[in-house]
Amino acid sequence: MDTVEKKLPVGSDPKRKRGARINIPRTSALYTLLGSPKARVGFVIVMLFVLAAIFAPLVAPGDPKEFVGATNQPPSAQNIMGTNPQGKDVFRQLVWGGRLSLLIGFGSGALMVLIATIVGMISGYKRGIVDDILNFIMNLFLVIPGLPLLVLLSAYLKPGTATVIFSLAFTGWAYNARIIRAQTMSLREKDFVAAAVVSGEPVLKIIFVHILPNMVNIIVGGFIGAVIYGIMASTGLAFLGLASTQDVTWGTNLFWAQNGGALMIGAWWAFVPSGLAVALVAFGLALINYGMDEITNPRLIAERDVKSVLRKAKLPRMRATPVVPHEH
Amino acid sequence: MRYIMRRLGFYLAALAVAIAINFFLPRLLPGDPATIILGTSSGRLGPEELQRVREALGLSDAPLIQQFGIYLSRLFQGDFGTSYTYFPAPVTKVISTGLVWTFLLGAVSLIFSFVMGNLIGIIGSWRRGGVIDSIVPPLLILIGSFPAFFLALGLLYAFGLKLDLLPIAHAYNNRLEQGFNLPFILSVLEHMVLPATTAVLLSIGGWALGMRNVMVSVLADDYVTMAEAKGLKQIRIMFKYAARNALLPGVTGFGIALGAILSGQILIETVFSYPGLGYMLIYAVNGRDYPLMQGLFMMITVGILVANFLVDILYTRLDPRVRAG
Amino acid sequence: MSIETSEFVNPRRTADGKEPLLDINTLYVEYLTRRGPAKAVNNVSFSIQPGEVFGLAGESGCGKSTIAHTILRVLKPPAVITGGQILFDGEDVLKMNDRQLEDFRWRKVSMVFQSAMNSLNPVITVGEQVTDVILRHNKVSKKDAYDRAAELLKIVGIEPERLKSFPHQMSGGMRQRVVIAIALALNPAMMIMDEPTTALDVVVQKDILQQIQQLKETMGFSILFITHDVSLMVEFSDYMAIMYAGEIVEKAASKEIFTNPIHPYTQGLLSSFPSLTGKKRKLTGIPGSPPDLVNPPTGCKFHPRCTRCTHKETEVAPQLTEVLPGHWVAVHAGMPLPTGNDRIGQSSVAKR
């Protein structure tokens, strides 16, 4: 666990140098996001892919859709990751594919969270009929199965990036909306909000100044979750051939590989990179969320602190309250 | 009781919406739906064929209300039309065969992943900081991060193709006689291993993590402290006091989880050519078999709603506080 | 079968009167926080005799509840015990391992937790929660355990049919009584009661306290009674200790504390509560708020709020001194007492 040697606050006993090393938040927001080592690992993984995608022309120069040679060639000096059943360079496809895949993921994630926040906050704040209706709609979208609906939509709508982003947001906003609604409802009951209401502050100010800042954690966590969903779902759709197969995304890469029977021939290199990319990005994002939770959950923090004290005192862990004798 | 009634009302409303979506979706397209739907092949069909397609889809020039009426009446008679790709089988017959396989695969995978996942979550949360808690959940998240079909293909490749240990397609060996005989049953089981394993690997992380998180907060509750103060055995506290209470939020989330599991299963079925509803759905979409597609969507939705409702009933059995009201 | 003679009787329940049952010596407990350790319990010592009702009073956050949980070692992270002994019947609880603790808990010392609503498991029946502790510590049949449970409920005034109920089906007062019944289950030598009546309304409060009193007379256990309501405690306990910011500032027999409070904090506390009888007097609170336990004030922790503070208290913490027989106050030797003209002589800080 990351520890920071703290500067003793003014007035405390400088001779006191025992007990646990305490973590100090530097800047709250950044620390919450990246304080945990798990979150940092996740962040690095995601950034790697994001940067590779942004700098695709430098990392994998050339046109990913260009026919470069024989089909199903194993990795070689010419093609670092070999070629796929259509004779395209797998490495280029991987790097360039990241652009659209990540764009779709982050785009749909942002849209999902935007809708979820608006609907969730209105529903949670207003209560009454408005809440009943919105809540019903929320539960409706939660219960109607996502992928089948997506499949249905894809069958009827014109394939394209915008369509995918829209469909994903359409089917995926409800999950976070429910969480945000619950949080808004509980925050609304808190004293400082009641005070603001009573003193006649305008509703918008209450929402943006009082309620929203207290929900930043779940909104950020929700965003990350939504991005994961966006990437996974869009990849799945593309694999099934329901997205625009002319685009280069990780999902379509897999579609073409499967279509050309890559696995049957044994050309696993056409397959593994894009799938692995999706998995790693999703994993990295999940790690960030996991790490954020470790930092903000007071119980986990408490247990970690006690554990490090025990470890330093070389005492066994026990369920009962530990005894760590000190000088007094 | 009132709780159940309210939930039932909700599900009926959801069902109504699903029916409406199913109806309106084809009609939302600009232009003549039949032509657009059939795409390039519409040029080759004569006007009578196009007309028949329109009729099969329930489209006509009659006013919308009338169309809806016809649609509803057909729906309640269980008439979903005739499938193109399985012509001349009616959609309902096709769906019923798929239902059995999806249900079988789904139930088996669900039971395994739910039980194992929750156990891991419980044990991991109990021995916080131990191996099970530090390594296993992130590992499971990693495995669960893989796209369903990727994992499926991986397993298929490794165990099916390379090692030739297990079958890679279909639900059973079609040379065998169907029925409750041993060879058939064994074949079914054999064919289920890879798809089920994929499904379990994908979702186990979710259950484990969810349970662990709830356990962390439940373990701080006062009744757990009192149980410890009573000197009760650890196992009893872990299960009867903590886990039993931690299950409740999990059960609530179960219904939503079902949707995600279903999505995964669609992909798995496709990869393994496992003849369930998911496989059929994709097959139908790619074959532009619209009656089958609509029918499948309705069937899947109804299935999910029923499953959710059953989960709600289960919840009342588990939480005595809800039983009363 | 009558309870006293049942096989559940605790071996060393009645001591000879000289040996204290519970003996806490220089206990230190810290909470690890981001800003540094908070000293929740700082050098606390007291002892409880068999059959005695010992009251621990003070504001919220003064450490009394922490002490209660520490005796059974059920304090949750980030708490760490950093020094001292807790001797029960001669054994040091702080040296026990998990196995020994499991045997010690509830047999020797049981606890009635604050807010019974949260102390009872909502998804299993009340009966199960009474019998599970009986079955854990005794080799008896389930039927015997249930019979015993029915008896216990009867003792606290609940019909045995309620064994099948769930906690949410009972009223607050009933639930509190159930928790008391569970605490009685193994005939412990001592019961800790942490604010047992705070969450209840006044009428029920009185009822429950009377019941506890009767039970104590019949069964002979000691009670460590914890509350912030000093006036309640004065009536109920034999001996009292007043805590402030993790330390004991005064301890004496209850009547003595009531009639002759010496420490300014005790005086402030007593004058904060109105009494139904007696002269009408002005209610005064204590200005200020409890100190930060991570960076407490130097010297006497109460000094920022104390009207009688002199320079010495801001630098040196006063020790508990026996100013009158059996009456201990945290003062500096040589300070004049507010009541009477006796000056305090030099006495060692021995505990009662």
- What is residue B49's predicted lDDT score, i.e. its pLDDT? 66
Inter-chain CB proximity A279 and B156 less than 8 Å: no
Amino acid occupying residue C96: M
Inter-chain CB proximity B233 and C168 less than 8 Å: no
Inter-chain CB proximity C104 and B231 less than 8 Å: yes
Task: List all residues of chain A from 163 to 182 with a beta carbon under 8 Å from chain B.
Answer: 175
Range from A6-10, B313-317, C277-281 that averages highest in pLDDT: B313-317
Distance, in Å, from the CA atom of C117 to the CA atom of C129, rounded to the nearest integer, reads 13
B128, B157, B263 member nearest A147 (Cβ): B263
- Cβ neighbours of residue C134 under 8 Å, at least 6 residues apart? C8, C140, C145, C148, C149, C185, C186
- Please tell me the distance in Å from A110's CA to the nearest CA on chain B: 20
Q: Can you give the residue ranges of every domain in chain C?
A: 48-61+96-240
B141, B256, B267 member nearest A290 (Cβ): B141
- Listing DSSP states for B33-59 in one string gives HHHHHHGGGGGGS-HHHHHHHHHHHT-
Indicate the pLDDT class of residue A24, thresholds 50, 70 and 90.
very low
Q: For residue range B208-258, what is the model confidence (pLDDT) as tens digits? A: 888 988 998 898 889 999 999 998 988 899 999 999 999 988 888 787 888
A75 touches chain C (CB under 8 A): no
A19, A306, A328 member nearest C77 (Cβ): A306
- Please tell me the distance in Å from A294's CA to the nearest CA on chain C: 15
- Please tell me the distance in Å from A12's CA to the nearest CA on chain B: 31
Q: Using a CB-CB distance cutoff of 8 angstroms, which residues of chain A are in contact with residue C43?
A: 328
**Over 80: is that where the pLDDT of C221 sits?**
yes
- C48-61+96-240 belongs to which homologous superfamily? P-loop containing nucleotide triphosphate hydrolases (3.40.50.300)
Q: What is the ipTM of this complex?
A: 0.83
- Tokens for C162? 């309620």
Q: Which residue in the block uniquely carries the two structure tokens 């009558």?
A: C2
- With CA atoms as reference, the chain A residue closest to B294 would be A152
Mean pLDDT value across residues C269-285: 69
C180 touches chain A (CB under 8 A): no
**Over 80: is that where the pLDDT of C10 sits?**
no
Q: If residue C345 lies in a helix (H) or strand (E), which one and from where to where? A: none
Interface test with C, best of B126, B223, B244 (most C CBs within 10 A): B223
B230 touches chain C (CB under 8 A): yes
Q: For residue range C32-71, what is the model confidence (pLDDT) as tens digits? A: 888 888 999 988 999 898 889 999 998 888 889 999 999 9
B–C: how many Cβ contacts below 8 A?
79
Indicate the pLDDT class of residue A22, thresholds 50, 70 and 90.
very low
Q: Using a CB-CB distance cutoff of 8 angstroms, which residues of chain B are in contact with residue A300?
A: 216
Inter-chain CB proximity B230 and C122 less than 8 Å: no
Question: Are C116 and C129 in contact, with CB atoms under 8 Å apart?
Answer: no
User: How many C-beta neighbours within 10 Å does residue C206 have?
Assistant: 13
Question: Are C312 and C306 in contact, with CB atoms under 8 Å apart?
Answer: no
B10, B157, B297 member nearest A148 (Cβ): B297
Inter-chain CB proximity C123 and B233 less than 8 Å: no
Mean pLDDT value across residues A267-295: 89
A–C: how many Cβ contacts below 8 A?
79
C32, C70, C75 member nearest A305 (Cβ): C32
Inter-chain CB proximity B231 and C101 less than 8 Å: yes
Mean pLDDT score across all residues of chain C: 81
**Over 60: is that where the pLDDT of A14 sits?**
no
- With CA atoms as reference, the chain B residue closest to C111 would be B229
Chain-centre distance for alpha carbon B92: 19
- Whether cis (ω within 30° of 0) applies to the bond prior to B88 is yes
Inter-chain CB proximity C32 and A19 less than 8 Å: yes
- What is residue C2's predicted lDDT score, i.e. its pLDDT? 32
- What is residue A310's predicted lDDT score, i.e. its pLDDT? 81
Residue C299 CB-density burial (10 A; 0-12 exposed, 13-18 middle, 19+ buried):
middle
- Tokens for A68? 């470069």
Indicate the pLDDT class of residue C224, thresholds 50, 70 and 90.
very high
B256 touches chain A (CB under 8 A): yes
B255 touches chain A (CB under 8 A): yes
Do the bridges between strand C319-324 and strand C327-331 make them parallel or antiparallel, or are there none, so unpaired? antiparallel
**Over 90: is that where the pLDDT of A45 sits?**
yes
Inter-chain CB proximity B231 and C119 less than 8 Å: no
Structural domains of chain A, ranges and CATH numbers in brackets = 1-23+305-328 (no CATH), 68-277 (1.10.3720.10)
- With CA atoms as reference, the chain B residue closest to C103 would be B231
Mean pLDDT value across residues B110-137: 82
- Please tell me the distance in Å from B19's CA to the nearest CA on chain A: 11
B321 touches chain C (CB under 8 A): yes
Do the bridges between strand C91-92 and strand C247-253 make them parallel or antiparallel, or are there none, so unpaired? unpaired
Question: Are C315 and C299 in contact, with CB atoms under 8 Å apart?
Answer: yes
User: How many C-beta neighbours within 10 Å does residue C20 have?
Assistant: 20
Q: For residue range B43-90, what is the model confidence (pLDDT) as tens digits? A: 555 667 667 666 666 666 667 777 778 778 877 777 777 776 776 777
Indicate the pLDDT class of residue C281, thresholds 50, 70 and 90.
low
Amino acid occupying residue B198: T
- Cβ neighbours of residue B171 under 8 Å, at least 6 residues apart? B101, B104, B188, B191, B192, B274, B275, B276
Q: For residue range C150-199, what is the model confidence (pLDDT) as tens digits? A: 999 988 889 999 999 999 999 888 888 899 999 999 989 999 999 887 77
